[in-house]
Amino acid sequence: MADDETPSEHRRGMGTSRLEAFSDGVFAIAITLLVLEIGVPAGSSDDLLGAVADQWPSYLAYLISFSTIGAVWLAHSAITDYLYRANLTLQRLNLLLLLVVAFLPFPTRLVAEYIREGDAERVATTIYGLNLFLVSVLVSVVWRYAVHAKLLRPDADSEEIQVLTRRLTPGLAGYVVLIVLGLFAPTLAVLGYLLIAVYLIVPAWSLRAHRP
């Protein structure tokens, strides 16, 4: 009995503890690096308040990207909560997810720099939306693979599993709509990304639904 438990305990911790620690590290760095992109032009001492106010696209981009990475981290935490063990395929799918998460600071910078600049804004917004979309797709893929490969805890409630599967899906459709919208009205699309982010991060909606 005791022998039965030790190896299973071991197998449980095998992949997931370092997978969690490494992923937490990448999420934490990607989310914190975003602030490095924000700055006022050198020599703004004559009108610093104006110069700071002029950086609003940077704050907006910071807010959207921070909220999005935060929401993805929340989803990732929910996934690893159900995870009993990892295999090599899951580890690699997770690396692909981290690849696109760690890439996000680049299109964030593009949006912050080229918003309200006509065609350039369209390009920046589309790249940004595609990156957000890929992040969402890969979160879903990681989760569905874990379900499919039976890597979840044996005691995981199948209804809870379906709830999480549903919760990870609608974001995808939202991003597709906003990417297409962004080709015609890029500023609207940016506001859409902000709405998704605010919806994901502001606790108001969850107050009713998630009260223990």
The residues in 160-199 that bind a second copy, with binding defined as CB under 8 A, are none
Choice from 2, 4, 5, 36 touching a second copy (CB under 8 A): 36
Tokens 């879903």 found at: 140
Please report whether residue 33 would count as binding a second copy according to CB under 8 A.
yes
Tokens 């912050």 found at: 112
Window 99-138: residues binding a second copy (CB under 8 A): 99, 102-103, 105-106, 109-110, 114, 117-120, 123-124, 127
Please report whether residue 154 would count as binding a second copy according to CB under 8 A.
no
Please report whether residue 39 would count as binding a second copy according to CB under 8 A.
yes
Please report whether residue 84 would count as binding a second copy according to CB under 8 A.
no
Please report whether residue 22 would count as binding a second copy according to CB under 8 A.
yes
Q: Which of 137, 8, 22 is nearest to 80 (CA)?
A: 22
Give whichever of 52 and 195 is closer to a second copy, judged by the CB atom. 52
Please spell the DSSP secondary structure of 97-161, one letter per residue: HHHHHHHTHHHHHHHHHHTTSTHHHHHHHHHHHHHHHHHHHHHHHHHHHHHHTT-B-TT--HHHH
Give CA–CA dist 32/26, Å, rounded: 10
Please report whether residue 45 would count as binding a second copy according to CB under 8 A.
yes
Choice from 54, 81, 157, 160 touching a second copy (CB under 8 A): 81
What type of residue sits at position 90?
L
Choice from 159, 166, 184, 210 touching a second copy (CB under 8 A): 210
Longest dimension (CA), the chain: 75
